[in-house]
Amino acid sequence: MTTADTISLFLEDEAATLRLGEDLALALKAGDCLALSGDLGAGKSSLARAMLRAIADDEGLEVPSPTFTLVQSYDLRIPVSHFDLYRLGDPAELTELGFDEALQNGICLVEWPEMAASELPRESIALTLAHEGNGRRATIIAAGAQALRIRRVLAIRNFLGDAGYSGAKRRFLTGDASLRAYEAIYRENAKGRIILMDWRPHPEGPPVHDGKPYPKVAHLAQDAYPFVAIADALRERGFAAPEIYKVDYEQGILLIEDLGTGGVLDDEGRPIAARYRQSVACLAHLHSMPFPRDIPVSATHTHHIPDFDRTAMKMEVQLVLDWHIAWRRGSAPSDTEREEYLAIWDALIDELAAAEKNLLLRDFHSPNIIWRPQQAGIKRIGLIDFQDAMIGPTAYDLASIVQDARVNIEPQLFRQLMDDYLALRRAQGHFDEARFLKAWAIMSAQRNCKLAGLWVRLLQRDGKAGYLKHMPRTLAYLNVALQHEALAPLRDWCARAGIGQSES
Sheet holding 253-256, edge to edge: 169-175, 181-186, 194-198, 253-256, 244-248
- In tens, the pLDDT along 200-240 reads 888 888 988 888 988 899 999 999 999 999 999 999 999 99
Closest CA to 221 of 322, 317, 316, 303: 303
Taking the chain, what is the end-to-end CA distance rounded to the nearest angstrom? 44
CA-nearest of 142, 214, 98, 253 to 450 is 214
* Structural domain includes residue 266: yes
Is residue 170 within a helix (H) or strand (E), and if so which, with residue range? strand 169-175
pLDDT at 299: 92
Q: Is residue 167 part of a domain?
A: no
* Element at 341 (helix H, strand E): helix 335-351
Low-confidence stretches of the chain (pLDDT beneath 50): 176-177, 502-504
Question: What pLDDT was estimated at residue 1?
Answer: 52
Non-local CB neighbours of 108 within 8 Å, separated by 6+ positions? 32, 33, 34, 80, 81, 83, 99, 102
Cα–Cα distance measured from residue 497 to residue 316, given in angstroms and rounded to the nearest whole number: 18
81 occurs within a structural domain: yes
**Residue 284 domain flag:** yes
Domain count, the chain: 2
Query: Does residue 455 fall inside a structural domain?
Result: yes
CATH of the domain at 483: 3.90.1200.10
The pLDDT assigned to 214 comes to 87
Provide the domain limits for residue 134: 4-147
Is this prediction's pTM over 0.85?
Answer: yes
Q: Report the alpha-carbon distance of residue 257 to residue 195 in Å, rounded.
A: 6
The CATH number of the domain where 111 resides is what?
3.40.50.300
* DSSP-assigned beta bridge partners for residue 175: 181
Give the DSSP H/E element, type plus range, for residue 458: helix 433-460
Residues 143 and 265 in one domain: no
**47: Cβ contacts below 8 Å, ≥ 6 apart:** 17, 18, 20, 21, 24, 36, 127, 129
Residue 20 · residue 43 · CB < 8 Å: no
For residue 387, which of 360, 414, 365 has the smallest C-alpha distance?
360
- pLDDT in the model for residue 504: 41
